[in-house]
Amino acid sequence: MSNNQIRVVTIDGPSGSGKGTLSQMLARHLGYHLLDSGALYRLVALASVKRHVDFAREEFVVPIAQNLNVEFSVEGNSMQILLDGEDVTNAIRQEAIGMGASQVAAHPGVRAALLERQRAFARLPGLIADGRDMGTAVFPESVTKIFLTASAEARAERRFNQLKAKGEIVEMENLVADIRERDERDSKRAVSPLVPAADATIIDSTDMSIEEVFASMLALIKQNS
């Protein structure tokens, strides 16, 4: 592969599989850019709430996605996300906004509106693209495609610990139910459902540590470069 070619690594998988953490670790390690595509869908959900728009009303949600006024700024090791100039870095991580994101993401018009915005993240030297349809729809030409998964229980436990660390108290049972509901909607939607690309390498992280998953992903990336 020549040096002036942008290397895109796609990491898709269900919520709580560890994609976010691993994508950040890989981007930092390789000096690549990072696309957190879930954040874009979360921003659409949050902007809809702020404008009192029902997630189900595609005709109102699409213009919000088309006109999303968002800025990502990296400060040291952390990323700040501004929506209409307001810092929403933490607000978009709430469970309710994640559920909303999954609902607005099912609208074909919303996905179309966000497509070019996502592709624009691909810049030299490379990009780690984290999402549900990175390898299948947004970057189908990518040479390294990873599908990261884990059991619903393991993912709920990880999410529980993440939320607890942020002071958000949720019931474990509700979390497993929410994860199943979100998996079901993300996998069954008509447009760009959550499925591994035919040429993706599947990694099941249920019984693996973050470090083990990181090492196996890095090995895959190196193999392909």
Which residues here bind ligand DC, judged by CB under 6 A?
15, 37-38, 41-42, 98, 101-102, 105, 131-133, 182, 186
Q: How far is the CB of 82 from ligand DC (least distance, A)?
A: 17
Nearer to ligand DC, 11 or 221 (CB): 11
User: What is the rounded distance in angstroms from the CA atom of residue 3 to the CA atom of residue 124?
Assistant: 9
The answer for residues whose C-beta is within 8 angstroms of residue 202's C-beta and 6 or more apart is 147, 149, 196
Q: How far is the CB of 104 from ligand DC (least distance, A)?
A: 8
DSSP state of 6: P
Q: How far, CA to CA in Å, does 62 sit from each of 5, 55, 108?
A: 33, 10, 9
Q: How far is the CB of 130 from ligand DC (least distance, A)?
A: 7
Nearer to ligand DC, 38 or 126 (CB): 38
Nearer to ligand DC, 64 or 105 (CB): 105
Name the residue number minimizing CB distance to ligand DC.
38
Helix (H, G, I), strand (E, B) or coil at 143: coil
Q: How many CB atoms lie within 10 A of CB 71?
A: 11
Q: Are 178 and 123 in contact (CB under 8 A)?
A: no
Nearer to ligand DC, 36 or 126 (CB): 36
Q: How far is the CB of 63 from ligand DC (least distance, A)?
A: 19
Q: How far is the CB of 97 from ligand DC (least distance, A)?
A: 8
User: What is the rounded distance in angstroms from the CA atom of residue 53 to the CA atom of residue 33?
Assistant: 32
Nearer to ligand DC, 1 or 56 (CB): 56
